[in-house]
Amino acid sequence: MSHNYQDQNQNQEPDAFGAVPIVVNQTPRLPRRTVIKWFVAVAASLQLGDAQVFGAEPGPGEPVITANGYGKDPLLNQTHNPGDLWPLTLSPAQRAAAIALADVILPADNLGPAASQLRCVDFLDEWVSAPYPAQLRDRELVLPGLDWLDVEAGRRFGDVFASLTLAQQQAICDDICFEPRAGENFKTAARFFSRFRSLAAAAYYATTAGWEAIGYVGNQPSLTYDGPPDEVLARLGVEQTVA
């Protein structure tokens, strides 16, 4: 399956939060105000665990994160262009691998669009580029993991991960999708896959389309309170005793 990120976004449709992407150096980027909203939604949903890394030090040519970030009280009414506060650091090859992997994990179906259509990898790029402890831990796992995907794809099939067929991509994912079943030589890759899957899913289900996919309606105004629906009470085996 070949994914061309630039072709997918050349019409500059609004993102999952209704914001129109900014084009920087011919590459669409999410407005930073949108990213702050997404960060808050995703950070609240993630359980941050111990990140087992491919290598704790940045790889050759990998930028070191030195930016200060937004601070503890960001101005949500201030507009920042991409790169103002920290550089986005996924390479084109890493972005392509991430787009392909996210679509293997969260493909388009009858419940919702693919992860790439919701720009989940734009969020991932921002996340692993941010200068905060949790994001830095994920960066140490995700960036080498994306590089590993291309190395493994080349070893098995003679091409980069994003250019493989879906069946070939799934063959690699099958070996790393569940750490307890992964071979010893795939344990670290399995930890990468688990973290990437959590980040991609958290980004996906923090969007309006993600809410719709799971039937979450959010806070809805109501003039009256009629109590829990009967079907919910029946499922729990309880009855409402307060009128």
pTM, two decimal places? 0.69
pLDDT at 228: 83
Position 48 scores a pLDDT of: 37
pLDDT of 10 reads 36
Q: What is the pLDDT, as a whole number, of residue 105?
A: 97
What is d(CA 64, CA 102) in angstroms, rounded to the nearest whole number?
25
Per domain, the residue ranges of the chain are: 11-236
Give the mean pLDDT per block of 10 residues along the chain (243 residues).
Answer: 32 41 46 54 46 41 64 70 77 97 96 94 91 90 96 97 98 96 95 96 93 86 83 89 69
Residues 159 and 153 sit within 8 Å (Cβ to Cβ):
yes
